[in-house]
Amino acid sequence: MAQRILLFSPVDAWSEALSAELKGAGVAVERISDLSRYAQLLVERPQALNEPPEMVLVDVDGPQNEEGEDWRSRRASLDIGLSAWTHAQPTLPVLTIADRRKRSELMELLKEDHRWHLTPRDEGTTTSEILLTVRRHLGRDGFGLPEGIMKSCEPVSHQVRSSQQKDELLGSLGRFMEKVGVHRRVAASARMVADEFIVNAVYNAPVDEKGNHLYRHRDRRQSVELAPKDEARFFYACDGDFLAVGVRDGFGSLKADTVRAYLLRAMQGGQDQIEQKKGGAGLGLFVTLEASNKLFITIKPGEGTEFLALFAIGGSYKTFASRPKSFHLQVV
């Protein structure tokens, strides 16, 4: 039987195309355009909550309806429906579709506990990112380069064995970016993100058999040598449209709530709100989200965590910097 998702969206050509592609991928899509009526149905038929969907897609930036109400003005009804479902199924993944660029707007959309995905809705957006996210959740897999967003390409990989490798790894990335023609300012952003990823994999990810962090509180000027079984994988790739930079550790010690807490705290107060004490957060989520176009964080508890950032390299730096953000946090 096809897996079922709910799509809260007004009716327009974009959402119709998305619905058709999802159905073509074998997903049973239940379209809901009248939120007020849907919220009332949940009140009248609470037994419907006994059959939760696999995922919910929420389109908050669609066009006005016939009554002249825009989608956001009906948010109260939307939240009634979402709250009902997420109360019945606390781990229900919700993907928010919104063309949000300002930090305050991103924070508003991400502060809800159940909203773990944010992807833009604008004329330049295809359905590829949404289809990828749905497939990854339904397939319970979220690691690796994002098929459908990036064309097929072979990543360059390096084993991360020591904190002392950081400069060498960043140098390799720099030469790769120069070779493929990445704009120097985009390359600087990618290098900054790679630095954060490598530091996190060495100092923050490793834990012992009881889950105690081994190096998180160590001064970053102190070197760390990882045991062979604890090594991480640093990788990067380019398909001509996007540069991908990522790291995957073998622990899966990161908690989704920790990601959300650091991200929202950083958004509320800016970069100075990220912990600067010795050991710190080590995640640099504010830096990473601000510096990249798309950020994917995939956690498989006890097995691995992968950070993957995408940078749009086609066009000018102004085009790169003005693109709306995407954020995906998945626990598999």
Question: How far is residue 198's CA from residue 283's CA, in Å, rounded to a whole number?
Answer: 10
| Assigned domain for 110 exists | yes
Give residue 109's pLDDT: 65
pLDDT score for 111: 66
Cα gap 217→305, rounded to integer Å:
19
Please answer whether residues 274 and 280 qualify as being in contact, where contact means their C-beta atoms are separated by less than 8 angstroms.
yes
Same domain, 163 and 278: yes
Q: Which two tokens stand for residue 328?
A: 């995906």
Looking at the structure, do residues 99 and 248 belong to the same domain, yes or no? no
Strands (E), 154-303: 156-160, 232-238, 242-248, 294-300
Residue after which a domain boundary falls, among 138, 168, 189:
138
In a domain, 77, yes or no: yes
Helix (H) or strand (E) holding 308: strand 304-312
Whether residues 64 and 187 share a domain: the answer is no
Three-state secondary-structure class, residue 49 = helix
Q: Give the pLDDT score at 289.
A: 84
CA distances from 331 to 20, 136, 143, 191 (A): 27, 10, 11, 26
Residue 143: inside a domain, yes or no? no
- Asked if 116 and 162 sit in the same domain, the reply is no
Angle of CA points 49, 55, 56, to nearest 5°: 80
Report the DSSP pairing between strands 115-119 and 94-97: parallel
Q: What is the pLDDT of residue 238?
A: 97
Q: Measured at the alpha carbon of residue 22, what is the angle toward residues 18 and 28, in degrees to the nearest 5? A: 125
Same domain, 134 and 162: no
- The count of structural domains within the chain is 2
**Which residues of the chain fall below pLDDT 70?**
1-2, 35-37, 39-43, 46-50, 61-88, 90, 99-116, 121-126, 140, 267, 269-283
Q: Quick one: pLDDT at residue 259?
A: 86
What are the two backbone dihedrals, phi and then psi, of residue 161, each rounded to the nearest 5 degrees?
Answer: -110, -20
Q: Are the C-beta atoms of residues 309 and 286 closer than 8 Å to each other?
A: no
Q: Which candidate, 131, 104, 135, places its Cα nearest to that of 119? A: 131
pLDDT at 198: 97
Q: Identify whether 144 is part of a domain.
A: no
* Among 138, 165, 193, residue at a domain's last position: 138
Same domain, 246 and 325: yes
Domain contains 295: yes
Residue 11 lies in a domain: yes
Q: Is residue 318 part of a domain?
A: yes
Query: 255 and 165 in one domain?
Result: yes
Angle in degrees, CA 261, 264, 269, rounded to 5: 120
Residue 131 in domain: yes
* In a shared domain, residues 129 and 232: no
pTM of the entire predicted model:
0.85
For position 271, what pLDDT does the model report?
45
* pLDDT at position 17: 84
Q: Are both 261 and 128 inside the same structural domain?
A: no
Residue among 329, 288, 305, 311 at smallest CA distance from 201? 305
- Whether residues 166 and 313 share a domain: the answer is yes
Helical axes 184-199 vs 166-180, angle rounded to 10°? 150
Interhelix angle 35-44/75-88, nearest 10 degrees: 40
Q: How far apart are CA 271 and CA 139, in angstroms?
A: 35
Residue 259 C-beta-side C-alpha neighbours within 13 Å: 27
Single-letter amino acid code for the residue at 199: V
| DSSP helix/strand/coil, 102 | coil
> Domain containing 104: what range?
3-138
Query: Are residues 167 and 283 both part of a single domain?
Result: yes
Cβ neighbours, 10 Å, residue 105: 14
CATH number at residue 96: 3.40.50.2300
CATH number of domain containing 244? 3.30.565.10
With vertex at residue 9, the alpha carbon angle to CA 140 and CA 14, rounded to the nearest 5 degrees, is 90
Query: What pLDDT score does 172 carry?
Result: 98
221, 262: one domain: yes
Among 106, 138, 170, where does a domain finish?
Answer: 138
Q: Please tell me the number of Cα atoms within 13 Å of 323 on its side-chain side.
A: 23
